[in-house]
Amino acid sequence: METYYLILTGILFVLAFSDLIVGVSNDAVNFLNSAIGSKAASFNTIALFAMAGVLAGSVFSSGMMEVARKGIFHPQFFAFSEVMIIFLGVMLADIILLDLFNTFGIPTSTTVSVVFELLGAAVGMALIKVYHDPNHLSFGEYINSARALAIISAILFSVVVALLAGAIIQYFVRLVFTFDYEKNFRRFGAIWAGLAISGIMFFILIKGAKNATFMDKATKQAIHDNWLLILSTTFVAGTILFLILQRLKVNILRIVVLIGTFALAMAFAGNDLVNFIGVPMAAYNAYHFFVESGATSPDTFMMKDLAHKVPANTWMLVLSGVVMALTLKYSRKARSVTETEVNLGRQDEEGYERFGSTIFARMLVQNVINAHKRVTAILPDSFNEAVARRFKPKKWQPKEGAEDQQPPHFDMLRASVNIFVAAILISIGTTLKLPLSTTYVTFMVAMGSSLSDRAWGRESAVYRVSGVLAVIGSWFFTALFGFTMAFILVNIMYFGGKLVVFALLAVVAFILYQTHFLHKKREEKKSRLLREAQGIGKLSADKLVAKSADEVLRFLSAYQNLISRTLSNLASENRRGLRTTYSDFLDINALAKEKKEKVNKVIDKLTDDSLESGYYYVQVMDYLRELSNSTRHFIEPALKHVENSHKPLIPEQNESLNEVMQSLREFVNTALETVENRQSLETLNDKKKELLKTIKKARKLQIKRIKANQVGTRNSMLFFALLTELKNFALFGYSFVKAQQRLADSAKGILVDDTAE
């Protein structure tokens, strides 16, 4: 029996290191987003500071696993075997939950996840005891419900306070320094940097030193009693030092952001480490107590020893710090989660928005706009104009010879505000013993500062608000999912026995394997979109022609392939094939949409003598979107028809569609040759007419079949819809190539006659 529980303890430690990897990948957003978003340094440099902070934080860790061991339930009322099932259920649920969030790039709280998983597992085991143990206690005596209620209250509190604090402080900081802050920063920048570094130092002292295992009580008490003097000294010394560094032409904001990154990473490792190794450490302690007691039955040995303070092993803390540091450096999912927050707060309003528009977001934005209009109407025009000038964004100019030609998502002034405000709020919460989530605070501060910086303008506000609401909603899902999953797993393992325990481990391993490939696919898609979105310097007319020709060739071929696959899968009623085809279309459509939305940026990069060509490039992109819409409306009805299990097309219909498809292939092949060789449009026009005749013939044959009662209504609706979109594809495809030809002619200086249009 001891061997079985020893194996379980070992498994829990293996799961702990897996949890460390998936957990750090999510919590990395807390301390990386400001530095990465502002491009304070290269990613390797930022990661180096964060890794140093994580390693330092692991040494500063309190080593007391209070939350995992007795913060949510009372272990003295549970047997050893029951406690082990609770801990195993928590770890399995935590790995699944955090890996799921990482895969989709959503930041969540590891504190909330582990607390509610402990609560769900403990409630599950408590209910089992109440219904099966004749000597059971009342249900309320098993659970420490006050702690869970405090966590829920802290979620709501931290979300609101962090958003308001970030918005208010960023507003006044930006009002003082403006976006063109270099001039004012020479005067007052050292004071702001000194204030920020003092706040960060306060954060380090409150969140770090209080938990340091190597400090005695006298030292900690001295820090606590003299914190105001320490911070005042830090402010004065920091301000003087930053004044000197400014004279030496050093970017002091970069120093503040990097030190803040170190501090946040250190506090994270020092305090949130318990979320990952607290449970297996508690399981190890439970196993140790069981073995030392000499008890023979794990079902009767009660865990009263877990109710006392038990220090964690220092070597385990350090090893965990190493794992976390390596995860920061190499985890792709950590970057995905960070990118979600950074993109929601970016200053640039153009381009792709990850989140769509929701009704609640639209209502909220409309109400805010109306309120803003009422407030500005009351204030003097001179005041409104003065404020508007202070908040006028500065156009970013890349440094000559720099490798990175892409602008940062926001400037380092805002990054310093994000770190300063988050550090202060978390420190105050810790001082007041409020269980604030570091994830929630850092995320909402970043969103509040984005709001004040007017990053959420009329072009992007609805999408950004939808994104923030989606993230906040996912936080509550964290609590619900964690509780429910742990509750279910405990019941399955308790009633299923040992074999079920090992089967669940295999299931979790399979889930992690699947999400790894899902995330890889999402990253490849995102990288492709990013490569497409990035331009290379100024565009001449010749480069624009080559660019558009490449797009015509690629998209015409891709859409023809999708239409061909749709017809083939429709004829065989291959539901999975149609779903795959539609999924592939969505990827290509996202790329087409991105290109359409990036038209302004392409035109902005045109040289002055190429502006005439820009007009025809806009036409090319317009017809590209029309082609994309036609392809969508071709695939969707076919998929819907098969999904609803309607009657398949009859052989005669498939024969007609194949005939049309053959004509479409000839049309597309001719279009490709026309673009590649810059041939005349006459041959392509003839192919278009042949295709339209074939479509007309297929439509007449369908009418005859209807008259002869050979086909039903839904069959006819689908058939006519397919023919209509094939006709649209031919017309828009011809215009697509024609627009590209006109673009090529305008680049050569040939006068283009488009008066008829």
Q: Annotate 62-124 with DSSP letters as a single string.
A: --B-HIIIIISB-GGGSBHHHHHHHHHHHHHHHHHHHHHHHHTT----HHHHHHHHHHHHHHH
Look at residues 476, 498, 526 and tell me which one is the last residue of a structural domain. Answer: 526
In a domain, 572, yes or no: yes
Look at residues 526, 550, 568 and tell me which one is the last residue of a structural domain. Answer: 526
Mean pLDDT confidence for 608-621: 73
Asked if residue 575 has pLDDT above 80, the reply is yes
Q: 249-258, 480-489, 597-606: which range is least confident on average?
A: 597-606
> Are 125 and 76 in the same domain?
yes
pLDDT at 67: 47
Higher pLDDT pick, 339 / 623: 623
- CA dist 663 and 668 (Å) reads 9
pLDDT at 228: 80
Q: 110-114, 192-196, 740-744: which range is least confident on average?
A: 110-114
Q: Are 162 and 441 in contact (CB under 8 A)?
A: yes
The pLDDT tens digits of the residues spanning 145-204 come to 666 676 667 767 778 888 898 889 988 988 888 888 777 787 888 888 888 888 888 777
In a domain, 642, yes or no: yes
Of 40-44, 443-447, 606-610, 689-693, which one has max mean pLDDT?
Answer: 689-693
> Are 340 and 317 in the same domain?
yes
- For the chain, the farthest-separated pair of C-alpha atoms sits apart, in whole angstroms, at 98
In the DSSP assignment, the letter for residue 406 is: S
Higher pLDDT pick, 284 / 564: 564
pLDDT tier for residue 63 given thresholds of 50, 70 and 90: very low
In a domain, 399, yes or no: no
Mean pLDDT confidence for 514-520: 67
Q: 517-521, 541-545, 689-693: which range is least confident on average?
A: 517-521
Look at residues 526, 554, 571 and tell me which one is the last residue of a structural domain. Answer: 526
Q: C-alpha 288: how far from its chain's center? A: 41
pLDDT at 540: 61
Mean pLDDT confidence for 733-748: 82
> Are 250 and 276 in the same domain?
yes
Locate 255 and state its tokens: 């120093």
> Are 496 and 572 in the same domain?
no
pTM (2 decimals)?
0.71
> Are 561 and 494 in the same domain?
no
- How many angstroms separate the Cα of 65 from the Cα of each of 45, 56, 598? 32, 19, 51
pLDDT at 616: 79
User: How many domains does the chain fold into?
Assistant: 2
- CA dist 729 and 595 (Å) reads 19
In a domain, 754, yes or no: no
pLDDT tier for residue 64 given thresholds of 50, 70 and 90: very low
Which percentage of the chain shows pLDDT scores above 70?
78
> Are 155 and 292 in the same domain?
yes
Q: Are 152 and 479 in contact (CB under 8 A)?
A: yes
Whichever domain contains 699, its CATH number is 1.20.58.220
pLDDT at 128: 86
64: which strand partners? 311
Asked if residue 534 has pLDDT above 80, the reply is no
- How many angstroms separate the Cα of 551 from the Cα of each of 232, 535, 544? 61, 14, 11
pLDDT at 539: 53
- CA dist 404 and 727 (Å) reads 45
In a domain, 594, yes or no: yes
Locate 253 and state its tokens: 């904001």
Q: C-alpha 471: how far from its chain's center? A: 9
> Are 593 and 451 in the same domain?
no
Higher pLDDT pick, 497 / 486: 486
Higher pLDDT pick, 430 / 80: 80
Q: How far apart are the first and last CA of the chain?
A: 85
Q: Please provide the average confidence, as pLDDT, over all residues in the chain.
A: 79
> Are 297 and 265 in the same domain?
yes
> Are 185 and 210 in the same domain?
yes
Q: 42-51, 250-259, 327-336, 374-383: which range is least confident on average?
A: 327-336
> Are 246 and 279 in the same domain?
yes
Asked if residue 736 has pLDDT above 90, the reply is no
Higher pLDDT pick, 316 / 474: 474
Query: Domain limits at 7?
Result: 2-394+407-455+464-526
302: which strand partners? 79
Locate 84 and state its tokens: 């082990």
Q: 5-14, 350-359, 422-431: which range is least confident on average?
A: 350-359
pLDDT tier for residue 61 given thresholds of 50, 70 and 90: low
> Are 492 and 589 in the same domain?
no
In a domain, 602, yes or no: yes
In a domain, 444, yes or no: yes
In a domain, 400, yes or no: no
pLDDT at 336: 63
> Are 492 and 563 in the same domain?
no
pLDDT at 311: 57
